[in-house]
Structure formats: C-alpha cells, structure tokens
Amino acid sequence: METKIIGETLPAVICKLQKGESILTENGGMSWMDDGFEMKTSTNGGVMKGLGRALAGESLFMNTYTAIQDGVEIGFSSCFPGKILEYELKEGETIIAQKRSFLCAENTVDISMQFRKKLGAGFFGGEGFIMQKITGPGKVFLEIDGSVVKKELQAGEKLKVDNGYVAVMTKDVNLNIETVKGVKNIVFGGEGLFLTTLEGPGTVWLQTMPISKLAGLLYMGQAR
C-alpha cells in the first residue's frame, strides 16, 4: 500500500492499494474512492470490542475497504484543522492515543479501548478515563488538533503538560497528574489546578490546538 498526506490546514491521506489489500476506518470515515473497492461493515472483533471502541470515541461499526483491482485510490479527510500523524507499528507494538483520533489503518492494526486505572489521572488529566489502544503490525493514521510536537523522553525524564495537549504516546510512558503549587499560581496563573505529568521512557506527541481549548475560547467570545 502506498500512502501520501496532502493539504495543510485540513489535510487528507490518500492510499493507493493493489488487488487484495485492505484498509480499515470508522463508520463514515471514507471521503472518496475509485471504483474498484469492496466495502464490508462489521464490529471488527465482536460486539463487546465494538462497544469498547465506541467508549473510546470511535464508532461501534468499522468499514473495511478491499481493493478488487490494482492501483485504486481511496481518501480519508480530517474533520478538524490540524495534522495527520502517520505511524508504522511493528508486530505487537502499541501506542495510546486520545479519543476520536483514529482516522484509518491497514486492516492488520487492532483498535481497542485503553482504560485509565488511576482515578486522579482520569478525572483531572484532561484526556479522560478512556483512550484508544492501537496495536500493530501496520500503518495507522491519526488526527492531531493543530500542529504536532514530538518529544523523546528518557527513563525517569518528566514532561509537564497542560490538560488536553497530549495526543499520542508509546505504551511505556507513565501518565499522571500533578497539583499546581502555590495559591497565587492556581488562582492567577491561568493553568488551572492540575497539570498532566508524563514520565519516560518513551515518545510523546503533543498537539498545539486541543478542541477543548478552542471550544472554550469560542464560548468565551460568544459570552462577551
């Protein structure tokens, strides 16, 4: 399968498949395609797995598009201004992504729910209790809000992030929350009461314009 990402503010990924190759997306995720594809809709792993994906922000049903001839193209567009992150997973490799970030992937990729066990991180970490667990092998394409900032963390190295800016991370990164110190910092600092703390080893992809932040700014603008 050949892929290319086009566009700047509202990007799309175009996938060129040969006969017999397949690509997976959520229900309604396809934007356009050549004649020469066969579509199959399923829960992709059973009803319980589908419900888990639904809790993680995706649809209960998934669509698989299989090429029935060589050299046919299919496109998947982002639904929010930002970037599309392409990542090739090795066999058994797992990444953890924010809810609603999955765009499409090779049909060998598994998408399921990742439940955050720590109550504090779930309530106050900005990403909620449920995230997406994506396991290889295969290519996966994820929607990122705004631009992407990649950080490589060494073992024990920590990164403090405002709530909502964590987009994707490798599975070994430890995510927790930390209380902002000092009454003045909490009341007047503008960062709120909690920060998300990420501890390596692993890789983290941050996003520069979380939907939650944009929605808040738009609401404040309307209120004025």
Structural domains of the chain in order of their starting residue, each with its CATH number: 2-223 (3.60.160.10)
Length of the chain: 224
- Mean pLDDT, range 88-112, rounded to an integer: 93
- The predicted pLDDT at position 11 comes to 95
- The predicted pLDDT at position 212 comes to 65
Q: Confirm if 6 and 32 have CB atoms less than 8 A apart.
A: no
Amino acid identity for residue 34 in this structure: D
Q: Predicted confidence band at 94 (pLDDT cuts at 50, 70, 90)?
A: very high
Region of 93 please: left (phi>0), alpha (psi -120 to 50) or beta: beta
- The predicted pLDDT at position 49 comes to 57
Q: Confirm if 103 and 25 have CB atoms less than 8 A apart.
A: yes
- Average pLDDT score, the chain: 82
- The predicted pLDDT at position 177 comes to 81
* C-alpha–C-alpha distance, residues 87 and 223, integer Å: 40
Q: Predicted confidence band at 183 (pLDDT cuts at 50, 70, 90)?
A: very low
Query: What pTM did the predictor assign?
Result: 0.81
Of the candidates 193, 177, 167, the residue with the CA atom closest to the CA atom of residue 82: 167
pLDDT tens profile 33-82: 999 999 999 876 655 555 655 555 556 688 999 999 999 999 999 988 89
